[in-house]
Chain A
Amino acid sequence: MNLLLRAKLLFALIATLMLLQVETSYAQGEPVEQVIYVGPEETIESNVSTIDQPIIIDGIVKGDVTSWSADITINGYVEGDVVSYNGVITLKQAAQIDGNVLTVGGSIVYETAVPQVAGQIIEGAPGGSAVFGLVDIIRPSSANNANPGDAILRNAFTLAGALLLLALSTLMSLLWPHRSAITAQTLRTLPMRSLLLGIITTALLALLIVPISGLLTISLVGLPILIPLLLLLHIPYAYGLTALGQVIGQRMLPKQTEFATPAGIALILFPIVILSFFLPIIALLLFYLSASSGLGAALLSRLGTLPIRPQTQNLLKT
């Protein structure tokens, strides 16, 4: 079987899996979600906030009404602001808002001729949908993803991300061949130690992101740099993937050194991409686990500047 035919078969397989996943999400239908409801006679003295539960306000809220990616329907009085990152804000006849209204990646629906909003109405932002829609990558069952277009878009986004990662990791191995070789050698020599150190690093980063994001958020100027910062944080993982790809690739193709690393990286990414169509969270965890081993080796070898050879261990043991 020639290479072109293999590529075509692979493409057909991926396309079939993507369509299958779309069919599955459609068959499941819209999931039943709990709604946060403030009745006409109710008064909430604090803020009303949620991540993905729809909010319906028919009564009074003496604070802000915020959601991450769910819809907000106002048919009552809100003393503060109304903000939704990726949901639809509906302003009904009886809606009265003393503050401002903002939707970043969603939209505002007016079911009233003159909206009773004392502050500003800010709708949409360039790239907002893509940025705040990131949360939907790991939540395939949300209402926003119930239509096939969104599912295809998400799968295409995953594929594009995987291809970008493959290109970036290959570029790293070409730009720093000596360093990536030393990192790969460290991974071969100390595999368990590298994996453990990588996992600890990932856990630490995941834990530290929360307070750092909080500090950036309250400073306001830090909020726009939060997303680029999170993306930059993935460069070490791409480097880790390079090392792991080199180890696997050289074992797979010992005679074709120039293709070994990209082939190894592709071999790691392929099952992860396929898995992401069905179990995105598991796929994401698998990606971080794989890349963490390389990241640990990169840290142990001080980004490929300190070579650690098997002889070293033997000599130390004796």
Chain B
Amino acid sequence: MGRGNNNELSEAEERAAHETFQALLERYGEPKTLNPPVNLAARITSQLPNARPAEILRRERRRLLGRSLLLWAIGLTWLVLSALGLWGIMVDSSLPALLVGGPQTALGHVVLAITLAAKPLFALFSSINLLVWVVGLVTVIALGWAWWKMLTQVQPMVLSRNQL
């Protein structure tokens, strides 16, 4: 090795050294280096969007706006329905049915039946003492914290195994 020629390795010597190095790495669990798939660069490039970054950003903003509008619409609908339901349960049970054609119509009949059916359930919830609600809330928070801790503490175990 390095006979004359400024101590440089010949091509054959370099190849042999590389193979020995790879064999040693393989023995210690190092994955083999494989040649990349054919046309990898071309395939990845073809999957990239044609639009300009500004256009992509605009589309993404529009998508996010649409999603937040949908969420707001669902939330507002739920609030309106809840307000209507509360009015039906607590004040006038015929009102929600009247808004859909009156209790004589098929839909109104169903709405009135649902409003009336909600009454015993609502009576059950409203009979629960405020102190019980507060104790319940504190218990939920404490249990939720314990639940999250127990669930996430298992993560380092898995990570450690992978690292080892």
Interface residues of A (CB under 8 A from B): 47, 49, 51, 64, 66-68, 80-81, 83-85, 99-100, 102, 104, 119-120, 122, 125, 190, 193, 196-197, 200-201, 203-204, 207-208, 210, 213-215, 217-221, 223-224, 299-300, 306-309, 311-313, 315-316
Contact = CB atoms under 8 A, between A and B. Distances in A.
B116 interface: yes
A81 B92 CA distance: 10
B94 A217 contact: no
Contact of A83 (B82, B111, B120, B139): B120
Nearest to A196: B150
Contacts of A47: 123
Given A102-B113, A220-B111, A299-B151, A119 B103 contact: yes
A312 B157 CA distance: 6
Contacts of B156: 316
A66 B112 contact: no
A83 B124 CA distance: 13
Contacts of A119: 93-94, 103
A220 B84 contact: yes
Contacts of B88: 220
B114 to A, nearest CB: 5
B115 A66 contact: no
A251 to B, nearest CB: 24
Contacts of A200: 143, 146-147, 150
Nearest to B154: A300
A223 B140 contact: no
B157 A313 contact: yes
Contact of A220 (B118, B146, B147): B118
Contacts of B120: 49, 66-68, 83-85
A236 to B, nearest CB: 14
A197 B116 contact: no
Contacts of B121: 213, 217, 223
A224 B144 CA distance: 28
A138 B132 CA distance: 23
Interface centre among B86, B117, B121 (most CB of A within 10 A): B117
5 contacts: A68-B120, A218-B86, A220-B118, A221-B114, A311-B161
Contacts of B146: 200
Nearest to B150: A197
Contacts of A66: 119-120, 123
A211 B81 CA distance: 17
B163 to A, nearest CB: 10
B112 to A, nearest CB: 6
Contacts of B93: 80-81, 99-100, 119
A122 B111 contact: no
Interface in B140-164: 140, 143-144, 146-147, 150-151, 154, 156-158, 160-161, 164
A308 B85 contact: no
A87 B58 CA distance: 60
Nearest to A214: B125
Contact of B96 (A51, A204, A220, A316): A220
A308 B139 contact: no
B141 to A, nearest CB: 10
Given A100-B93, A100-B94, A218-B86, A83 B116 contact: yes
